[in-house]
Amino acid sequence: MMMSIHVHGKHLTITPALQEYAERKIGTAQAWFDEPVTIHVTLAVLGHKQEHAVEVTIPYHSMVFRAEVKDIDMYAALDEASDKIERILRKYKERARRKLRTQSREMAYNLQQTRSAASALEEDEDFPVMKVKRIAMKPVDIQEAILQMNMSDHSFHLFHNRASNRMEVIYRRKDGTYGHLLAE
């Protein structure tokens, strides 16, 4: 899998050894993604204190994972930044797994309840329906609906809004922002 790591320096010249160390330490974050990502690493020397800062930014779809660490030693700061971004990615991945496990249990239950009703509906259609998908609809807020949409990599998501107690749709616009559809 091809990844891209961009190492930049602020008030600091990046030596080949520092470049290689940063790529080796921060590059392990690629293992958390199922597709190539671009990782931005900024190394800086701050002020007269000679404090070193490492900032790691990983844009992924509509999310941005970010870790920032300051230390008196640049290599120690890189080690700590690597550990920190790994913790952030592990936490995100575990949260996504928990949500998917909960949703799949609810989906299995709903599928058993509605299988016979769906087959009766499909037989009466004038327009051919090529696929029927059942989803569990637990009430969520808009931010959780956006997170679920982003995790599934779809451009829209139907959800049961906890605040309004209604079915609503959230969708990703071409400019990267989100839209929200409400039924009247």
Query: Is 126 part of any domain?
Result: no
Query: How would residue 43 be classed by pLDDT, with cut points 50, 70 and 90?
Result: very high
pLDDT at residue 138 greater than cutoff 60 = yes
Tell me which of 65, 93, 121 is where a domain ends.
93
Q: What percent of the chain has pLDDT over 70?
A: 82
Mean residue pLDDT of the chain comes to 82
Q: Region 41-50: what's the mean pLDDT?
A: 86
Domain harbouring 178, CATH code: 3.30.505.50
Is 119 inside any structural domain?
no
- Does residue 73 share a domain with residue 8? yes
Same domain, 142 and 75: no
Query: Which tokens in the block code for residue 46?
Result: 């701050």
Residues 6+ apart with CB under 8 A from 107: 134, 135, 136
Domain for residue 111, yes or no? Answer: no
Provide the domain count of the chain: 2
Of 23, 24, 29, 28, which Cα lies nearest the Cα of 8?
Answer: 23
Residue 52 lies in a domain: yes
For residue 50, tell me if it sits in a domain.
Answer: yes
Lowest mean pLDDT among 67-71, 92-96, 109-113, 163-167: 109-113
> Region 138-145: what's the mean pLDDT?
87
Higher pLDDT, 4 or 129: 4
Same domain (yes/no): 88, 144? no
At 136, list the tokens.
């569990």
Q: Which two tokens stand for residue 89?
A: 């990615």
Rounded CA separation 149/155 (Å): 7
Q: 71 and 151: one domain?
A: no
19 and 73 inside one domain: yes
Q: Which domain holds residue 175?
A: 137-184
Last residue of a domain, one of 64, 93, 122: 93
43 within a domain of the structure (yes/no): yes
For 113, list phi and psi in degrees, rounded to 5.
-70, -30
DSSP run (H or E) holding 169: strand 166-172
